[in-house]
Structure 1
Amino acid sequence: MANQKRIATYRGTATRKRIATYCGIAAALVSLGAILLATLVAPPETFTWQGKALSDMGRYGAPTFPIFNGGLILSGLLGAPFIWLVWITSRNALERLGVALLALAVVGMIGVGVFFLDHTAVYLESSLHGLAALAVFGIAPFASWVYGTGAALAGDGRLAIASFWFGNVHPLAWLGWLFSVGGASSSSAWFAVPEFVVSVAFSGWILSLAFTIRRRDDGELDVPNR
C-alpha cells in the first residue's frame, strides 16, 4: 500500500512537471506567434517596421489590439507553471535568483498587454505601459545571465552557455539599433526590429530551459516497475 501511494505521488509530480514544461514551450510560441501574426495583418497606419514600435499593434483602437495584447497576456499566464517548474528544479541560489528575475520579466510582459498604449483612455490616469515594457526588456537579459551563472556553478555547461548568449543578444540588438539609426530624424525609426530580436532571444531562452529540464528529468519521470 505504501509503495502504491509512493508511485501515485511520483506519477502525479511527473505529470505536473510535464504539463509545466509544455506550458513553457507554449508560452514562448504563443508570444512570438501573436507578434508575428499581428505584424502580418496590421495595416500600414497601425504598424510598419520602419516607423513603429511593436506596442503600436496593441494600441487602444488598433485592429490588432486583441491579437497582440491577448497573445502577451496568454503567454505570461502560460509561463506561470513553467516558472514554478524552473524554481523547483533550481540547483543553487543563483539559479533561483535568475528564476525570480524571470518571473518579474513575465509579469512585465503581462503588464504590456494589460497596460496597452493609450490605456488611460479606458482606465487609470497614469500610463504604466513604459514601466511594463522596461520590466521585460530590462530584466530579461539579467535573468538569463544570472541563471546562466548558476548553471555554470552547477556544472551545466551547455545551459550556461545558452543562457549567457541568449542574454547577450539583448544589449547587442539595442546597440546595433542605436548605431544604425544614430542619424535618423525619428527616435522610433526601426525600433520594432530590436524589440523583435530580443523577443526572439527571450523566447529562445525559455525554450532552451524547457528542453534542458525535460531531458534532465527524463530518467526521473519514468516510474520504476518496483
Structure 2
Amino acid sequence: MSRRQPSNAPVVARLAGHAAPVVTLGAILLATVVSDTFAWTDSALSDLGVAAATAPLFNGGLVVGGLLALPFAYALWVDGRGPLGRLTAVAFALAATTMGLVGVFVSGHPLHLPVALSFYLLVTATLVLDGVARRTRRAGQLSALLGVAHLAGWVLWVSGSRFGTGLAVPEFVGAVVFAAWMLGLSPSGSSR
C-alpha cells in the first residue's frame, strides 16, 4: 500500500497569492506613470481603466491580480482555524473576485460602482474577520486594526476630509492595506 504524498496545492496557492498584489500594484503604479492626465488628488484609480493609453495595463492588472489571488483563498481556507478562519477565506475570495471585476466593468459601466464598492467593503470584512478569528495573536490584532482603519479612512473621505476631489488616494491606501495583509499579516502570509 502506498502512502499518499502531501499536496503542494497550498504552497502553490500561497505563491500565487503573493504574486497577486505585486502584479496589481505594479500595474496600477505603472499606469499612473504612463497616464498624462492622472492626478493623485483629482482622479480616481478607475479613470486609468478608461483612458486608451492605460486601460489595458490597469484593467489587465486588476483581472490578472484577481485571478492570481483566487487560489490564495484556498490557502487561507487550509491555514485558517475554525468557522471564522473559513469565513475569512470566503470573504477574501469574494474580494479577489470583485477586484478582478473592477477591471471588467470599467468606470462608466452600470456595474462599476457596485463592484468597486463591494471590493473595498470586502477588504474591510476580510481584515476584520481575520482579526476576530485570530484575536489572541498579534497578527490578528493588527489585521482587525487595519480593517477598522481602512473603514475609518473611507468615512473621513466621505465626510469631506480629503486630499483634493479624487478618490485615488483612499483607493490606493486600501489596495496597499490589502496587499500588506496578503503578504505579511494573513494566516497564509510570509510571516506565518
TM-score, scaled to structure 1 = 0.77
Give the number of aligned pairs.
191
Structure 2 counterparts to residues 68-217 of structure 1, below 5 A: 68-119=58-109, 127-152=110-135, 155=136, 157-177=137-157, 178-181=159-162, 189-209=165-185, 212=188, 216=192
Identity value in percent: 39
CA spacing shift, 1:25–1:213, aligned 2, 3 Å: closer
After TM superposition, the runs of 4+ consecutive aligned structure 1 residues lying more than 6 A away are none
Distance in 2 separating the partners of 1:210 and 1:147: 7
Gaps of 5+ in 2: none
RMSD across aligned positions (CA)? 2.1
Change (3 A) 1:210 1:160: closer
Note the residue ranges of structure 1 that are not aligned, 5 or more in a row: 120-126, 217-226
TM-score (norm 2): 0.90
Q: Contact conserved, 2:184 with 2:191, CA < 8 A, in 1?
A: no
Q: Deviations over 1:25-69 (max 9, x none)?
A: 10111111111111111112xx2112110000001x431001110
The structure with more radius of gyration: 1
Instruction: Please report how far the alpha carbon of residue 148 of structure 1 lies from its aligned counterpart in structure 2 after TM superposition.
Output: 1.5
Change (3 A) 1:212 1:99: closer
